[in-house]
Chains A and B, each alone.
Chain A
Amino acid sequence: MIRPVIPLVTAALLFGLGVYGVLRRRNAVLVLMSVELMLNAVNLILVTADTLRERLTGQVFTLFVIVLAAAEVGVGLALVLRLFRLRQDINTDQVPLDEAAEAPAEPAPALDGELR
């Protein structure tokens, strides 16, 4: 017999640590790592939910979430690299939010318009 509360509480703690990491960390790569922690907590809950029922829906959704996480981390790291190239720094506290005047100096890639 399994007590489902054990993995569920583990997942809750992992999610809390992920929230803490996202709020506490300044470095963009570390923020991404904390996001991975939260996604893993969700996966753990989905898999645990499958033990309560006969079906495999939770595990299928776990696979979907893993694929989403891979896509997210790919795009996220591309953004981080671009930020690093623009500012030589990936400290999220020092990203100015009102950079309209500076933006034309850093033209977006040519493909950008077509993709939107």
Chain B
Amino acid sequence: MDVLLSVTGLVAVAGAVAVVATKQLVRAGLWLVVTLGAVAVEFLLLGAEFAAWVQVLIYVGAVVVLLLFAVMLTRAPIGRSSDLDRPALPAVLLGAATALGLSALFAVVFGRMRVDPPAPGTAERIGDTVFKDWVLPFELLSVLLLAALVGAIVLSRRETAVAGEEPR
């Protein structure tokens, strides 16, 4: 179990490194699929069945496709682009400080802890928890999704539709 967790963790981190380091926009999106898929496998290993499938469906299925659509619609160059990056130093400093600081914190606090594999979080148990304890946030989320939907439509429609031309 620990070996599997380590291997999928390594795959996820390697994919993430490729996402933030690659020079090609489309490849960044595809490496993101690798990372998100590896995280979904970790969810499965940690007993979060339902969350794993939702991760695959929504993240890998929807979010990455949306990002690739954005790459396409902004007419990104297909090959290598040279101007994707800012100077590295502040980003490296802050990123490394965050990663190492958090890692050290977790290693110190949870380093020796071992737990039994938990009971799987099936759709039934998740549904029980959502509709017993978290009904209000759940309903608020539906309103938020509606607001985001309307906001995205308003933001992305063409505002100066010439008379006689269908606004797209």
Q: Which of B25, B35, B47, B66 makes the CB contact (< 8 A) with A30?
A: B25
With A5-B107, A5-B110, A12-B106 known as contacts, the answer to whether A40 contacts B100 (CB < 8 A) is no
> Residue-by-residue, is A13-33 near B (CB-CB < 8 Å gives 1, otherwise 0)?
111111111011111011011
| Complex: chain A residue closest to B95, CB-CB | A20
CB distance from B77 to the nearest CB of A (A): 11
CA distance A11 to B9 in the complex (A): 8
Q: How many residues of B contact A (CB 8 A)?
A: 95
- Interface residues of chain A, those whose CB is within 8 Å of chain B, are 1-21, 23-27, 29-30, 32-34, 36-37, 40, 43-44, 47-48, 50-52, 54-57, 59-60, 62-64, 66-75, 77-82, 84-85, 90-91, 93, 107-112, 115
- Interface residues of chain B, those whose CB is within 8 Å of chain A, are 1-2, 5-6, 9, 12-13, 16-17, 19-20, 25, 28-29, 32, 35-36, 39, 42-43, 45-48, 50-51, 54-55, 58-59, 62-63, 66-67, 69-71, 73-76, 81, 83-86, 88, 90-92, 94-100, 102-103, 105-107, 110-111, 113-118, 121, 125-126, 129-130, 133-134, 137-138, 141, 144-145, 148-160
19 CB contacts below 8 A, A to B, read A3-B114, A4-B115, A5-B113, A6-B9, A10-B42, A18-B20, A20-B92, A23-B90, A25-B85, A26-B85, A34-B19, A47-B43, A55-B129, A57-B133, A60-B129, A66-B58, A67-B145, A72-B148, A108-B159
